[in-house]
Structure 1
Amino acid sequence: MIRTLRRRFLLIALASLAGTLTALCLVINLGYRYMTTDRADEVIQLLHQNAGQFPEPEAPVDPAAFPGFQITMETPFETRYFVVRLTSQLEVADVDTDHIAALDRKRVVEQVEYILDSGRTSGYSGYYRYGIFNEEDGGQTIVVLDCFLQLQAASNVLRLTLLASLACVAIVFLLLVLLSRRVVRPFAENLEKQRRFVTDASHELKTPLAVISANTGLLEASIGENRWLESTQVQVRRLDRLIGHLVELARSEEALPEAEAEPVELSRIAAAQAEDYGPLAQASGKTLESDVVPNLVVRGVTENLKRLHTLLLDNAVKYCDAGGVIRLTLTQQGRWAVLAVSNPCAGLDPAQIPRLFDRFYRADPSRSRETGGYGIGLSTARAIVQRHKGKLTAAMEGDRVTFTARLPLT
């Protein structure tokens, strides 16, 4: 359990960090890309308004200003662009390539044809940003801006943020691996103290219960049968069984020592338990059906796995509706052995399903008193499954409740 808790702590912490860094990277890179495109559109708009030329700067520039495009004395020499004017029949009337060296008139015309075929008034053609403006004479003006450096900078920002995020995740992962043991240590110590308390208290309670049982027996021998003495004996036996179940639950929650684990043929246990519980179910007016795939082997403790079947079948027999059919199946799903025990239980509220594994929780307390239940059998079953590195779940379909244990195959 502690190892699982530590693993979950690592996964949750890393998932939270990765989600935060992913959101941060998206904001930074989408924001930078938007600013790059917005700046290019401002430049294109300005060039169109000034007949393909940059106006003289009117105010001092501030490199720290945000956002917006500012014109300096060097802007006309730093900016690469060309302007094409079209007639109303979309024929090339004039081409201005004085501010770009990489394209001649022929290649500019090819770019214009591609831009017109796109059917959009603005966008990117490779690393060129363009804008199309309608003129009063029915013609059009196309301003195309070279944005190679700006797009390259955006790509570099993306790479840097990704590398920085991966580095942060790696560093935090190493720190969590080193510190997570210390984080979960108080929980582990408290859990161990609780288990020790249950075990020690149970052993301490057994002695006075034995004395009470013996004294009650002596009194009964002296004065004869008495309903009060009989009631006391019943409650003593009830407490003795409860103490035994609590000790079992505490031991089931302990980690499984590797030395105690051995290959166990789960199929043989399931078949034997189904055969043993068949007469018991029949005596209660119910029917037990089984379907067991042979030769399924898991690694664990034989007695624990027998107890798992006993708890699930005992629960099914106790709470199955009168005349109902109990089904036990053992199948293989990939690398897992899947044990499922189901029974009709029309009186069970589906909202109670998540709480069935809580200690001392009973969906129907009055019926539990009749059947002698304590509300810890399913808690013990789940502890046994978790001890064997598996998972026990409950689900309800219609009026049938199904308990499914998944155990890793050897």
Structure 2
Amino acid sequence: MIQALRRRFLMIAMLSLTGTLCVIGASINLGNLYRITRLSDTAIELLYQNDGTFPLADGGRPDVAGGFQITEETPFETRYCIVHLTEKREVREVEMEHIAALDREKVVDLVSEIIRDGKKSGFNGYYRYQVFEKDGESTIVVLNCFLQLQSVYNVLQVTLLVIVCCVTLVFFLLLLLSGRVIRPFTENMERQKRFLTDVSHELKTPLGIISANTGVLELTRGKDEWTESIRNQVKRLDSLIKDLIELSKSEESVKESEFTEFCISHIAENNADSFRTLAQSQGKSLVIGIEPQVRMRGQEDSVTRLVTILLDNGVKYCDPAGTVTLDLRQKGRQIILRVSNPCKDMDPAQVPHLFDRFYRADSSRSRQSGGYGIGLSIARAVTEGHKGKISASYEAGNVVFTAVLPGGTGKNPQP
């Protein structure tokens, strides 16, 4: 359980950090791309408005237009061409003295692609363009943005590298320090387990004395309703103490070194035979559907306890004259154990709480059956200790408990 908590802490922390860094990185790069695009569009509009030249302020001083700074070097630093089209979208004139990477044929091909796309502005490769229309004719200004897009790509690479380095560094730091982070919780759990074990052992002594004194009273005064009531309460408390100790043990970390391979089908069949007689004595029935020779790796005693708890719960809380169903199947690499019983008085809102400690859906029936609401908590602890999942549902008047366990190496061949 502690290891599962540690893994969950690491996963949440790393997902939060990675998500935050990705959002920051995406914001930086999208903002950078937007800035480059906006400055390119500003330069294109300036070229169109000034007949293919960049205007300077009076006296040749640098000018800033829409965030785009214009200096005497700007015409030589900026690579562009301007294409004038007729009303029929045919090339009438090409101004390409400010670009060396394109000749007239390439410009015509580029313009054809732009016309075919039908967009007023956009990117074609690393060329940014805008289409301006006036008096039926069109003018296309094409700007070479290779260096700008290269800088965007470089910023993206650096951002990804920083994110990967940060995530890796924080992961190793959390891996080293996560033990300290969850240490208070671990110590608290250990104290609770020790308290539970100590109290259970301490309660056994007075219960033994009460039971012995009751026996003496019965020998001297004979049995009566009072001594019988004392014995019943002693039995209930003794059963509760045993359940508490078992719950404490079942919540301890399961060591895979203690796992063995066994046939869960045999366990289910043997328990079903035992509970069938109990069900029949109460006017109920037990129907089983067990796939033969289903094997798994785990703690055999714990899995046996899991099957026993589910069957005992099913028979105990089944409606009078009802039928308890036990189903065991292997589906791929998973083993599906399902126990259901009719319970018409069940409130569906209670289903999510059935695995809570000391929770009893029907207190009056629980008192009659001697239940304390611990059995299903033990079943959940056993299932999770085997890296499985257990759930409860209420379907058409039936309470259904489903445990999903990891399978073993497969099935044994039939003898």
Shared fold (TM-score, shorter chain, > 0.5)? yes
Distance 2:110 2:80 in 1: 12
Q: Which residue of 2 aligns with 1:344?
A: 342
**What SS is found at the alignment partner of 1:130?**
strand
Residue 24 of structure 2 is matched in structure 1 by 24
- C-alpha spacing 1:280/1:112, structure 2 compared with 1 (3 Å): same
**Residue 102, structure 1, aligned to residue 89, structure 2:** no
Distance in 2 (alpha carbons) for counterparts of 1:61 and 1:396? 77
Deviation at 1:81, TM superposition (A): 0.5
Q: State the partner residue of 1:139.
A: 137
**Residue 48 of structure 1: aligned partner:** 48
Question: 1:80 Cα deviation (Å)?
Answer: 0.6
Alignment of 1:11-410 (within 5 A): 11-57=11-57, 68-135=67-134, 137-410=135-408
Contact 1:213 1:233 in 2 (8 A): yes
Which amino acid letter does the alignment assign opposite residue 128 of structure 1? Y
Task: Return closer, same or farther for 1:127/1:7 CA change in 2, 3 Å cut-off.
Answer: same
Could you say if the C-alpha distance between residues 125 and 258 of structure 1 is closer, same or farther in structure 2, counting changes exceeding 3 Å?
closer
How far residue 351 of structure 1 moved from its aligned partner, in angstroms, is: 2.5
TM-score, L = length of structure 2: 0.93
Taking the aligned partners of 1:38 and 1:328, their CA distance within structure 2 comes to 68
Q: Write the distance in 1 (CA, Å) between the matches of 2:386 and 2:231.
A: 37
Contact map agreement 1:57 1:73 (CA 8 A) in 2: no
Q: Residue 39 and residue 225 in structure 1: after superposition, are their counterparts in 2 closer, same or farther (change >3 A)?
A: same
Once the two structures are TM-superposed, the CA of residue 119 in structure 1 deviates from its matched residue by 0.8
CA 298–5 in structure 1, closer or farther in 2 if over 3 Å, else same: same
- Offset at residue 258 of structure 1 (A): 4.5
Deviation per CA, 1:295-343: give whole Å up to 9, x if none.
Answer: 2222223222211111010111112223332221111122222211122
1:241 Cα deviation after fit: 0.8
Separation (CA, whole Å) in 1 of partners of 2:321 and 2:53: 93
Q: Answer yes or no: is the 8 Å Cα contact 2:42–2:66 preserved in 1.
A: no
Instruction: Give deviations 1:232-258, integer Å, cap 9, x for gaps.
Output: 221111111111111111111122345
> Is 1:263–1:300's contact at 8 Å kept on the other side of the alignment?
yes
2:258 match: secondary structure: coil
Q: Which letter maps to 2:76?
A: F
Write the letter of the residue equivalent to 1:373: G
Preserved CA contact (<8 Å) 1:57 1:72: no
Alpha-carbon separation, structure 2, partners of 1:317 and 1:356? 16
**Equivalent residues of 1:264, 1:298 under 8 A apart:** yes
* Letter paired with 1:181: G
Structure 2: how far apart are the matches of 1:277 and 1:145?
Answer: 84
Which secondary structure does the structure 2 equivalent of 1:70 belong to?
A: strand
Q: In structure 2, what is the Cα distance between the partners aligned to 1:165 and 1:82?
A: 39
Counterpart in the other structure of 2:413: none
User: Comparing 184-193 with 40-49, which one deviates more in the overlay?
Assistant: 184-193
Task: In structure 2, give the amino acid aligned to 1:14.
Answer: M
CA RMSD of aligned residues (A): 2.0
The percentage of aligned residue pairs carrying the same residue is 55
Q: Take 1:183 and 1:66, find their aligned partners in 2: how far apart are those partners?
A: 55
- Deviation of 1:261 after TM superposition, in Å, equals 2.6
Distance (Å, rounded) in 2 between the aligned partners of 1:246 and 1:398:
33
Q: Deviations over 1:341-374 (max 9, x none)?
A: 1222232233322211110011121221122110
Which ranges of structure 2 fall in alignment gaps of 5 or more residues?
409-415
Q: Distance in 2 between matches of 1:30 and 1:67?
A: 19
Compare 24-33 and 281-290 and name the one that shifted more. Answer: 281-290
Give the TM-score of the pair, scaled to structure 1. 0.94
Letter in 1 for 2:353: R
| Aligned-residue offset at 1:401 | 2.2
CA distance in 2, matches of 1:333, 1:25: 43
C-alpha distance in structure 2 between counterparts of 1:74 and 1:103, whole Å: 21
Deviation at 1:60, TM superposition (A): 6.7
Following superposition, the deviation at residue 79 of structure 1 comes to 0.6
Offset from partner CA, 1:116-165 (integer Å, 9 cap, x none): 11111111111111101111x21111111111111111111112111111
1:189 Cα deviation after fit: 1.8
Check the 8 A contact 1:80/1:99 in 2, yes or no: yes
Go from structure 1 to structure 2 and tell me whether the alpha carbon gap of 1:259 and 1:111 turns closer, same or farther (over 3 Å shift).
closer
User: How many residues are paired up?
Assistant: 407
Aligned residue for 1:144, secondary structure, equals strand
Is the CA contact (8 Å cut-off) linking 2:322 and 2:342 kept in structure 1? yes
User: 1:302 & 1:102 partners in 2: Cα distance?
Assistant: 76
**1:116/1:264 CA distance change after superposition, 3 Å:** same
2:250–2:378 Cα contact (<8 Å) kept: yes
